[in-house]
Amino acid sequence: MSFVFFWLSVVLLISIGLLHVYWAFGGNLFGEYVLPEYKYNLKPHFFNQTPGSFMCSLVATAFFILAFLEIIYHYQIGNQKFVSILLTLACFVFTARIIGEFNCLGLFKREKDTTFAKMDNMIYIPICVYLLISLIVQLTILK
């Protein structure tokens, strides 16, 4: 069972990372669905502009590193204690993303009628919940 959680989450993390690499190189597929927005002026929430190549590359790198850490932890390579601390930190990040910032992101957002809010409820929050559960399963079973 943990094997399925492991591989599905690694594939998911790498896929999300590759999507961010695509955006970093100027791609705009799904661009209208991925930026939080306000209902009335419909501008991107973060500094009223879209993230640049550097930010997309940074996020992609974070997803690739997390996938790599899961592989290292699953196959018990290297310092397991350090890797488990980093994966636990990732659990806190996913928990924070699920809860949100009470405005445009997460379960407790105020903006519920925007395109992003609908996608957040249908896709992004469930992915974060799955990745969180997957990490918890990995950390508890392989302890």
Q: Which two tokens stand for residue 68?
A: 């790599």
Question: Can you give the residue range of the structural domain that contains 101?
Answer: 2-141
- Residue 77 identity: I
Interatomic CA distance for residues 92 and 22, integer angstroms: 27
pTM given for the model: 0.90
Share in percent of the chain as helix, strand, coil (round to 5): 65, 0, 30
In this prediction, residue 48 carries a pLDDT of 60
Q: How many domains does the chain have?
A: 1
pLDDT in tens, the chain (143 residues): 667 878 999 999 999 999 999 999 999 888 888 888 777 665 656 656 678 899 999 999 999 999 999 999 999 998 999 999 999 999 999 999 999 988 888 999 888 888 889 999 999 999 999 999 999 999 998 66
In this prediction, residue 41 carries a pLDDT of 61
CB 87 within 8 A of CB 71: no
Q: How many residues does the chain have?
A: 143
In this prediction, residue 47 carries a pLDDT of 55
